[in-house]
Amino acid sequence: MNDLANSPKPNENSAKAEERPARQRKPDWIRVRAPVSKGYHETRKLMRELNLNTVCEEAACPNIGECWTKKHATVMILGDVCTRACAFCNVKTGMPRAVDPMEPENTAVAAAKMGLEHIVITSVDRDDLPDGGAGQFVKVIEALRRNTPNTTIEILTPDFRGKMRPAVEAICEAGPDVYNHNLETVPRLYPTIRPGARYYASLRLLEEVKSHNPLIFTKSGIMLGLGEQRLEVHQVMDDMRSAEVDFITMGQYLQPTPKHAAVEEFVTPKAFNAYGSIARAKGFLQVASSPLTRSSYHAGDDFAVMKKAREDKLRKRDKLSV
């Protein structure tokens, strides 16, 4: 049969092209090289051997090449299927599988093999579980304390909708060094960007952490480029400070696939620097604001800076009270 007989007609090709959303061209300041290093492949192999998921892969993080080369990986517990469907997130949505009982120990093994001084643990949303998955966070923290007692622990949790207070209480009792929960965007955009969550419920979670244990550092982040206004970002900063959040991260939203929310604006590095200056003036102990900033990007270094900033602040306060 003639090959041309099976070829689509020209107008069919153009119709299909019109149906597909056009990919947005990224500016030079957020382009990154594909990961090819030996360290990257070693980290990937280790995650596979231990049956661990990472948000680095599942959320298509642009910094994966740099971080994995340095043997830094953010473990995503409670499986790789989320019960929510946020418009910005690349993680699969559906009915998750049963929780892996070996996940806590395997996470600790990974931390030991990579020689991590600081580890970040996050998860999918698990609205199907009675505790929202809080118990698994507790088990992971306990396993890390047993196996790698010198590793500082940062967790990035969901909002535990409908069971927030007991979930936060249990996790705080386990004693993470940093408790992160991202607000993600400004309140006005929640109905379209984060429809399964509530802005003020997330703020209350951050307040609850400080209420339960003021010594745990709290952290939260937002994405820019989704259509937010400058003054709305400033208000989010004020809301975070009212909740005594210690560390704010701000990074550029990147559209994972054409089906996800579109990028409304590629915010310039200069604008990110300006936002960072404003955040510092508002009293955050640590600020990370750049196009490629993500919740766990350089988290270990940022933790050291934040810890020192608190110590300096307490020293100054003690001097003034003498």
DSSP secondary structure string for all residues of 77-128: ES-SEES---TT--SEES------TTHHHHHHHHHHHHT-SEEEEEE---TT
pLDDT at 73: 72
| pLDDT at residue 34 is higher than 90 | no
pLDDT at 64: 61
Residue 203 included in any domain: yes
**Residue pair 32/291 in contact by the 8 Å Cβ criterion:** no
The answer on whether 86 is annotated among ligand-binding residues is yes
| pLDDT at residue 32 is higher than 90 | no
pLDDT at 194: 94
Of the listed ranges 63-77, 173-187, 249-263, 305-319, the least confidently predicted one is: 63-77
| pLDDT at residue 175 is higher than 90 | yes
| pLDDT at residue 15 is higher than 50 | no
CA nearest 181: which of 145, 214, 209, 215?
209
Tokens found for residue 283: 């009293």
| pLDDT at residue 249 is higher than 60 | yes
Residues 6+ apart with CB under 8 A from 296: 55, 67, 72, 74, 120, 122, 154, 156
pLDDT at 104: 97
pLDDT at 65: 57
Residue 24 included in any domain: no
Residues 6+ apart with CB under 8 A from 192: 87, 261
pLDDT at 42: 78
| pLDDT at residue 9 is higher than 50 | no
Range of the domain at 151: 43-321
pLDDT at 317: 82
Residue 64 included in any domain: yes
Domain of 260: which CATH number? 3.20.20.70
Tokens found for residue 134: 């809080």
* Confidence bin at 2 (pLDDT 50/70/90): very low
Residue 137 included in any domain: yes
**Residue pair 106/50 in contact by the 8 Å Cβ criterion:** yes
Q: What is the dihedral of CA 70, 76, 81, 84, to 10 degrees?
A: -110
% of the chain residues with pLDDT over 70: 84
Q: Angle formed by the axes of helices 199-212 and 230-242, to 10°?
A: 30
* Confidence bin at 92 (pLDDT 50/70/90): confident
What whole-number distance in Å separates Cα of residue 310 and Cα of residue 284?
10
Mean pLDDT value across the chain: 87
pLDDT at 129: 96
**Conformational region of residue 175, where left means phi above 0, alpha means psi within -120 to 50, and beta covers everything else:** left
pLDDT digits (tens, 9 = 90+) for 97-123: 999 999 999 999 999 998 888 999 999
| pLDDT at residue 320 is higher than 50 | yes
Of the listed ranges 47-51, 156-160, 222-226, the least confidently predicted one is: 47-51
Cα four-point dihedral sign 60, 279, 290, 233: positive
pLDDT at 17: 43
Residue 161 included in any domain: yes
Residue 30 included in any domain: no
The answer on whether 67 is annotated among ligand-binding residues is yes
pTM over 0.85: yes
What total number of domains does the chain contain? 1
The answer on whether 172 is annotated among ligand-binding residues is no
The answer on whether 321 is annotated among ligand-binding residues is no
The answer on whether 296 is annotated among ligand-binding residues is yes
pLDDT at 224: 97
* Confidence bin at 12 (pLDDT 50/70/90): very low
184 DSSP β-pair partners? 222
pLDDT at 23: 57
**Residue pair 248/279 in contact by the 8 Å Cβ criterion:** yes
- pLDDT, greater one: 200 or 36: 200
Task: Tell me the mean pLDDT in the region 161-172.
Answer: 97
Residue 5 included in any domain: no
- pLDDT, greater one: 161 or 67: 161
What whole-number distance in Å separates Cα of residue 51 and Cα of residue 136?
16
Instruction: Produce one character per residue of 198-213: b if its CB has 16 or more CB atoms within 10 Å, e if not.
Output: ebeebbbbbbbbbebb
Residue 87 included in any domain: yes
